[in-house]
Amino acid sequence: MPDKTLTVAAYAAGASLAAITLIYVFGPTYFLDNDPSSNATSVFSTKKNGAVGLVNPANDCFINSVLQALAGLGDLRLYLIRETHRRSLDGGSVYSQTIPSDAWERRDANGDETSKWRVQEDVPEWKAEGLQMGIVTKGLKDILDALNERPIYKKTISAAPFVKTLEVAFGQRISRQQQDAQEFLQVVAERLCDEYHAGQRARSYARRAANQTAAKISIGNHGPDGAALDRPLPQMGSEEVDCADQPATPSATAVPDGGEEDRAEEGFPFEGSFESQIECLTCGFKPRPTQSTFCTLTLNVPHVPSTTLNACFDGMFKTEYIEEFKCEKCRLLHAKAVLEADIQRSTSESSREKARKALASLELAIETDPEQAPEGVELPDPRYAPKRKIARHIRMTGFPRILAIHLSRSIYDMSNFSQKNLAKIAFPEQLPLGGLLNQRKYKLLGVVTHKGNHHSGHYESFRRQNIYPPFSNPSTFQPSGAYINTSSPSNTSQAHASQPEPGQADTTEAVDGGITTTSQHRSTSTSRERDTDTSSLRSAAASARSTLIKIASKPSSRAGSPDTTALKFKTKSPRAMNKTKRPKSNSRWWRISDDKVKEATTRDVLGMQREVYLLFYELERESA
């Protein structure tokens, strides 16, 4: 008898050790990915995982709040991963070379300038190299990766490495006095945008250099062929280097020809654009619209006790009427009227002929391009040009993937004394922008609040508890989509053949809250038989998981009664479900004040109407 008891104990210990080993192998993040508060069948305690905090050694709350808000933006993290990985693959030689001056702007097929690089030509060489290398992009990725760790205990880090990176990038120290969070966000966002465009420019220049070198090598190998010599070479825009007898340089061959890919890729997620259009209400003339780009959108808060975010948008994008504006077309029409009066009053035939030629030039300019005054025509003094009333329209033409909104609460009086606008601003969780034909929908992911007056106070941040697929394993014990083998035609035909008849009902089984059809098990049985080892491991993992579920479930009231856990789960009454209803995972937030982290709800976030200062919205995908 003692030997039998010892054998049973050893068998139980071995089975427990095997279950723990299977959990460690197939689900190392099971305790982190499966949230106890949202899983009714969890066997773990209600201990909640916190977020990583930031220390505040010297009035750094304006830095900490912005970094915590940026850490919750999934599109920004994907962009940082893509840019740092791209630069590491291309090599340092691509981004360390000096770019000539003519590569600082782009032109379209007609030769008109379409857009300028955000970085100007007078940038020092050391700063231009830092922009091309993307040092702030790499530093921000490191700090956001550290803030997105899922600690099992309270953890606090320092933002000093990222601050040091900014000081190296700009060549100056950052003041430790109380600063504005919006100014810090604008500095970081514009620097990231400059680094993105500088990297694009470096890759484009390296591709053109590679094409030029390859063409010269081809001419040197084939001799003075007339057809080859007549073929135009790609424009370099810089001094040509005779490389016919030399192999291609590493910087030229490191970057593949991806011009179409660069044009099709998603750019910097914070960068958007809007255009300003004016219209003369007298003659109806509309000059060319003025294009502008932005990384953070500043909205003025009206001087009222309470308002809404839509009212703040109306203050910027609504039609504005301006008096006493000098219209270019009205000025030419005024000059035309003056010339016609001079022709009637003139008695000299030569003066009339000269006035008629000037009148013809004016009429041509009025019909074609009133903004360009005709050459050789003397216009009246601009002081006597008529003043008109115009309408100014502003509309957003480029919707950023991440919309950063700054609510300007500064009030200045006649004596230049500033104070804070304490108006309540109601902001939505879902923000629609655009017209009916090109409407975009944004979702609130981060908020930065400020408590205090205009000269001092404290910043806090709210960050939605999102876990994005690239950074987690939400489907523990299940094959991930990236590791599923593509089914062959034979497997597909067998899967279709194993589907039930239209009149046949599928039996289902509930496992951990998810319903799996029996037909799906039958369709994948053939592929599982081909790999017996994988099948055995998966079955062992499934048995271990079912063991955990059985432990979590309550024992039956009567001995020997059948296990009806799955049936109870499917037939639970609405009243019972309401008793065990918990907050949705997408409505839970982190409220972070430097190193202090606690949970909040969407209702708490939307209630910060008097303190809200910065809003971060992310564009919702159409497939979502």
CB-based contacts of 252: which residues, under 8 Å, 6+ apart?
Answer: 206, 209, 210, 213
Distance of CA 356 to the CA centre of its chain: 59
Distance of CA 67 to the CA centre of its chain: 15
Classify burial at 220, counting beta carbons within 10 Å of its beta carbon; exposed 0-12, middle 13-18, buried 19 or more: middle
**Cβ atoms of residues 147 and 52 within 8 Å:** yes
CB-based contacts of 365: which residues, under 8 Å, 6+ apart?
Answer: 332, 372, 373, 374
User: Six-digit token pair at 308?
Assistant: 């809404």
The helix/strand/coil state of 529 is: helix
Q: Among 545, 592, 567, which residue's Cα sits nearest to residue 25? A: 545
CA distance 617 to 399: 11
Residue 544's DSSP bridge partners are none
Q: Among 130, 146, 152, which residue's Cα sits nearest to residue 44? A: 152
The helix/strand/coil state of 571 is: coil
Q: CA quadruple 29, 31, 37, 40: dihedral positive or negative?
A: positive
Distance of CA 248 to the CA centre of its chain: 37
Our answer to whether residue 312 is catalytic in this structure is no
Q: Which of 334, 393, 454, 458 is catalytic?
A: 458
Helix H or strand E encompassing 31: helix 30-33
Count of CB atoms situated within 10 Å of the CB of 56: 20
**Cβ atoms of residues 444 and 605 within 8 Å:** yes
Our answer to whether residue 450 is catalytic in this structure is no
Q: What does the angle CA 569 – CA 472 – CA 463 come to, to the nearest 5 degrees?
A: 95
Residue 620's DSSP bridge partners are none
Q: Among 160, 126, 140, 26, which residue's Cα sits nearest to residue 81? A: 140
CB-based contacts of 305: which residues, under 8 Å, 6+ apart?
Answer: 423, 424
CA distance 553 to 326: 79
Q: Among 181, 605, 183, 220, which residue's Cα sits nearest to residue 428? A: 605
Distance of CA 209 to the CA centre of its chain: 31
Helix H or strand E encompassing 184: helix 181-222
Largest CA distance in the chain: 138
Overall size of the chain counted in residues: 624
CA distance 465 to 51: 9
User: Six-digit token pair at 171?
Assistant: 């060549």
**Cβ atoms of residues 292 and 395 within 8 Å:** no
Helix H or strand E encompassing 293: strand 290-294
Angle between helices 2-26 and 532-552 (to 10 degrees): 110
Q: What does the angle CA 384 – CA 389 – CA 391 come to, to the nearest 5 degrees?
A: 140
**Cβ atoms of residues 450 and 181 within 8 Å:** yes
Catalogue the active-site residues.
61, 458
